[in-house]
Structure 1
């Protein structure tokens, strides 16, 4: 009797195992859990991301045109200065003596001009006397009153006086030119002497001070000398970023931008593109290679309205930003409202075949890699349509447009309202295939299940 019960129990267990195997619970493939989203119109803003440094929009670098010792330094870094304000002085001893020599030479030349003018007056009188004598001798010679030798002597005296007069006139002209030259030398010496006193050319803030009192500085008129200081207009700041050559054609002057500054981690500021370099940053460098990354400099002005209410930062400056702060800029290159799906829902024809490789990559890395692939429009792109009745998926080819961090525009191959598989990314890329039966779930359940596993 006991054996009979055992046999009945074993038979029931075998029947149960067969039923479970037939239904797929035992020995069958595991049903893939996916999240589903209906395609619909969304606003997609395509951005170009670049990083750089904050700098004043207007910055003047001051350097000396004369060499010498700094004898007076009347400002310090961070001081607000006005146009025409005295900043510093360089020892003027040598230039002062040069100026005094030039003035003395000028005065001497003035005396020379006066002397030559007096010589001219004397020669004019001599010429008048010689001319009158010559005319009388001409009449006397014609009347045979004087001899030929006497006439020749009078004529020679007349011609000599005429030549002396012409020479005196030229001497006066030459002396006047010499006076002008001396005057120019005085102006030059005065200008050189004035360069020992340095004034602010603009209103602003001393953003960088490169010298100390007593330092010796080098200055030349042909090239830039020792940099003394920088005066910046800190009320108008910009971010100078490097944009990759693959993105530069999508950036235009006037594009809006969102700016994140590392020193203000919890805030975002608004900006506008004001300038795009026509040449790459590598042009003009000593050495370039084929493998070198090509970037273009883009300047983005930080709009004052976006930081007017910011507390903290540089309290002693017109804006909260200090020159040199690191910033990341998202430039809004294009905006479109149209049919869109999540970026991770799109996959390409060259799907990765190894689930183990997909598992080793992080989700962020995978999405970045996928986003880069989607930029190449020559690669065919697909989505998985979800059949709610059969709980199966179907591969459908689509063409895409612009994208942001979350969504991508779908131009063809999909209609509004159609349900597509939106996750998980690893399943879309490596596990799903046409006709595969899946289980629809929510993101919360999916991620909670992954966490438990």
Structure 2
């Protein structure tokens, strides 16, 4: 029981100490005064963005015309080098999935085999048909010669018999003539059939050769030395292994020119009216925040777009970086300070120093509230057009009891 008593006493004393120090700390406000500065005032729009190469060479997949002829509308990236890999010209970059093409090659091989068999069969049928026709012609010729002999021998026969054998000869001559003409027609038809089958076979073999050639293009090599960067799809996702590539946008990856970089950023619709082509910018990266790069705005979109999972409208802005640095890489996150205005020789103080009461702006200075006329502002400071002097000190936050101080107006009312 005695032990529990001292335990509760200890908790009470500890809670009392916490209350005392917390109350004491809250009652004491830190008083900070800052001087009124004079000089060059920079107004800017600050955004985040992403580095991209100003120009790049696309690493294309297989011949798009050949793909479409094969009725392949898209293919899958099976394997690809890691994003950011440095390669030499001719180095392996990616393997593409051949399963769809392999099935088409197999089907085409079967078609070629069938047509070859059909071609051989047509050759044999034609040879047999024409041989039979030639044999029939030979037999008819022998029969015709026999008829001619009979006519010659019939000169001693009665006129009716002579007339009959002459009619038989004429009939045999007509039959032989028709058979010769039919043989010519059959030969021409056989040649036409052979040409048709041969044309079909040649077409099928050509298609098979094209498919086999296309098959060799499913291994992708670098067209030149550089750093392989994954292409982004319309959703902004990188197309790595397993991604589908359309034959209408037949790009597997890209090789950016790292010697010339841009920062692509987006400005909200409130600030876009301040941003113009030709404005200077200061760019840094999250990876190397201490390094600053100068740049210039080269493109400002005329039409806004809605960001994903947001109702805000933004406008794409391209900032061209001056010079180059080996540390810069595509897709690095950037912080962009676009300088929209520069005003020389003005007074300015931190925006936290300025307070408002109805239509009056004022600052806290020694013992009173000083009315001020303000001008343009940036993210940190605001211009003071009237009411303060260079070097004069103002409070960053209201000191204790400052709410009761009187206002000193710029003009008596």
Task: Report the TM-score, using the length of structure 1 for normalisation.
Answer: 0.49
Indicate whether 1:157 and 2:176 are aligned: no
> Cα offset for 1:270?
1.3
The alignment covers a number of residue pairs equal to: 318
Matches within 5 A, 1:238-387: 238-277=262-301, 279-282=303-306, 292-305=311-324, 307=325, 319-335=326-342, 337=344, 340-342=346-348, 351-352=356-357
Q: 2:356 aligns to what SS in structure 1?
A: coil
Describe the shift of the 1:62–1:268 C-alpha distance in structure 2 as closer, same or farther (beyond 3 A): same
Q: For residue 48 of structure 1, what is the aligned residue in structure 2?
A: 45
Q: CA RMSD in A?
A: 5.9
> Cα offset for 1:201?
3.8
Q: For residue 83 of structure 1, what is the aligned residue in structure 2?
A: 89
Describe the shift of the 1:61–1:224 C-alpha distance in structure 2 as closer, same or farther (beyond 3 A): farther
Describe the shift of the 1:207–1:219 C-alpha distance in structure 2 as closer, same or farther (beyond 3 A): closer
Distance 2:360 2:184 in 1: 104
Distance 2:123 2:266 in 1: 70
Q: For residue 444 of structure 1, what is the aligned residue in structure 2?
A: none
Q: For residue 190 of structure 1, what is the aligned residue in structure 2?
A: 213
> Cα offset for 1:109?
5.9
Note if contact 1:345-1:422 (Cα within 8 Å) is conserved in structure 2: no
Distance 2:112 2:183 in 1: 31
Indicate whether 1:170 and 2:192 are aligned: yes
> Cα offset for 1:220?
6.4
Describe the shift of the 1:91–1:207 C-alpha distance in structure 2 as closer, same or farther (beyond 3 A): closer
1:200 to 206, 218, 222: 222
> Cα offset for 1:259?
1.2
> Cα offset for 1:403?
6.0
Q: 1:252 aligns to what SS in structure 2?
A: coil
> Cα offset for 1:330?
0.5
Per-residue CA deviations over 1:372-427 (Å, capped at 9, x if unaligned) read: xxxxxxxx89799xxxxxx997877x8x56868546497xxx8xx99698845768
Describe the shift of the 1:88–1:345 C-alpha distance in structure 2 as closer, same or farther (beyond 3 A): closer
Describe the shift of the 1:241–1:222 C-alpha distance in structure 2 as closer, same or farther (beyond 3 A): closer
Structure 1: tracts of 5 or more residues without a match = 1-32, 138-143, 210-216, 308-318, 354-379, 385-390, 438-453
Distance 1:233 1:108 in 2: 51
